[in-house]
Structure 1
Amino acid sequence: VLDGAPGQKEVEQAKVKRDKKEKERSDIQEQFQECKSNLQSEKGSLKEAIGEIWNDLDASEVWMEEEQVKGKLQKLELELRQKKEDFQKREKHLQRLVEEFKHKSGLLESQEKQLQELNIKQEEQEKDFQAGLKEQKFSTYASYVRAKEWINGRGERKRRLSEYDARCLEVKTRHEMLCQQSAGKEPAELTEEKEKLEALTASQKNQREKWISLYSKNQRNEEARMKLEKYFGDKESLTAEYEMVNNLSCTANGNLSGSVKLDFETYVQRKYFKQIIQAANRRLSKMTSNEFILQCREIKDLSSQGQAGLDLDVYHLVNDSVRDVKTLSGGESFMASLSMALGLADIVQNTAGAISLETMFVDEGFGSLDDVARDRAIQILQKLAGEKGLVGIISHVNELKSQIEWQLVVKKTERGSHAHWVLE
């Protein structure tokens, strides 16, 4: 093939890539059809639900009391709002799939067009190449390759021919000179000289063999020396690089000798942990009447034995003292845990963008609080419910009943447990 033309391997790779893109387009089209079908089904379900809502309202208005109708309407409006939100999410997902389908379809068409152009170009270049072979009287491609190799070796043959001509000229010159020197002379008896010459020739051959052997050894030793110098040079640079990378690895993994065992992951987590503590302290200070707040233990105060980094301390604002969070009482631990949970919810919503935490459940813990602390905690949760949406409290403390408007009361009987709503 000509230079620059795509080879068979490239064509096969392009075909494989085209088949892969075709499969991706087929998969996206199937997902699109599935989402479209689900969307139509959800629309039908939504219409049916709206119809049932209105039918239920028409049938129940006659006998239901005003408060019951109001509660059911609120529940049905909540369900309708949830279905609308779910419908909007599915519609957005369908739009994203449609856009992705269009993008990948256009990309596949462009690649198919490019592949067709490459195939046409390859066929044209193949035809031109075959025509060129016939024009240059080459019967097969193999004969063309042999001719090309012969042309490439022409310079070497020319050099060897020049050396041969030079040696011939030298021998001819020596022959003419010897003929002139031996003109008019009689041949002498050369038996003894021949023996000396043979001995010298044998000695020369032996010395030459030794020299060749020593030369070969020297060449191998020289190559070994150069490789060793290169290896030693590489070793020094690699050793320096290894020391730097190893130091960075030990630092990132918290394994650096003589320092706090704080890995890179924990170091990054400390940043968000401090944000959560800061958000938690805004509520904890109100619950405790500015008695104490939480703080992340400083790196200089961490232990160098074992992994550390996410330790909590309690800072007393009254007497300016710090102690471990494990020394908190049951009620103080509950208020600290509740504050941390609320702080985590705030940070998640602020950093995640589209995430909205509208519901929270608090399970037990109020029994360990005194009346003042319990009132403060309830006030915080009531304020949070007004901001976020729904806050549920799971508890058996009787004092909470008067402070909670909507109650789902669970009673245990001989025939099992029963639940009913109490609206105050």
Structure 2
Amino acid sequence: FAIASNSKAFTAAALAILVDEGRIKWDDPATKYLPGFQLYDPYATRELTVRDLISHRSGLATFGGDLLWYETTYDRNEVLRRIRYLKPTSSFRSRYGYQNIMFLAAGQIVANMSGKSWDEFVREHFFVPLGMNRTVTSIRDLKNMDDVATPHNEVDGRVRAIHYSNVDAVGPAAGINTSVAELAQWIRLQLGRGTYNGKQIFSSARSHDMWSPNTIIPLSEASEKFNPTRHFNLYGMGWFLSDYQGRKVASHSGGLDGMVSQVALMPEENLGVVVLTNSETALGTILVNKVFDTFLGVPARDWSAEIMARVKQGEAADKVEEQKIEASRVPNTKPSLALAGYTGTFTGEMYGDARVTEENGHLVLRLVAAPNFVGDLEHWHYDTFRIKWRDSIVYPFPKGFVTFTLSPEGKVDQLKLDVPNPDFDFKELEFHHIESSSAQK
């Protein structure tokens, strides 16, 4: 199974080993160990520490920049180079913003300071000593293995098998594939505060560091009502920190196309729970809560029914939102230009190029860095077109919209994307027209 963001704890622990060895310090500037790393804000670039990288307080938005690695041809170094063009959404260290690319930067520090790739480092320091013999850091390593789960997602009410997502470019944030039996050994190491079968892999002091809070995550009123025994939500380094029935909990979830993982530890009880699934459901949360309740002997709750009710509420809200979108359409409008006037190459500093062509009487959008991102455009109103993504994309994106803006001379100038979804912010992508389709020929 792909464990996605449960890989982050491995990256934090890799840094912890380097701290133990005196090669790095948590509160040194990240640029000391990663020369050339740059954020949009010069102050954040200068002040960002190793601790900040893995605490989700960079000032970048939750999932900000993730379109740089998802389905693109960019490697780790190129993703990090391009993140300098992403504008922050909050002041540095002022609030929580869940970041994959900052963990990628942390993984590159591991590589720079150890002389080994992140993949080699975690294999040598964790997989081998813990006996995690089938655990790998890339889906390419799964090709010659048997007993490998197939990811599934749901589209229009139908569950379908899909291919694995290659996330090598952001491996330190999401790249590990493993089994319940092998991940259980990782849990034993964590509950052992860095010691496994009598061998110390990282110190108890570093375990304390990783399980100490750095960033406050606001608890919503709805969340408090749903789980009244939970009083706080924080992030340490590679771990979420909260409480459950009076016990401290260190946990993390992970999600990729067709795969969801859940790891939860209750250190005071020496209890750890691992749930790996090959579908995109809330099963992990349900099972973790059920195990905790049973272990602690507290009154049982029907977590499955309660969470299903919340899922249904979410689906109903999505339908209402879709109705609002349909109602917002202005009827009987026409594009400002002939279709050929919208074609050409559009470019942005952060993402690269997008191309619009005219094919069989309609426009087609292609994101050059992500060859699978192809969408057919249907006129919506004025200079806005609705996107129908082709089946080459496994993520169930809604249709979304492309809006073209025109220059004072009446020529196409910019292309703006709006694809509402919980994981990727297309509005971050800024594209400016640079040439016409005829010029390309």
On whether the aligned pair clears a TM of 0.5, the verdict is no
TM-score normalised over the length of structure 1:
0.16
TM-score (norm 2): 0.15
Tell me which structure has the larger Cα radius of gyration: 1
Bigger fraction of residues in strand: 2
Task: Report 1 or 2 for greater relative contact order, CA contacts < 8 Å, sequence distance ≥ 6.
Answer: 2
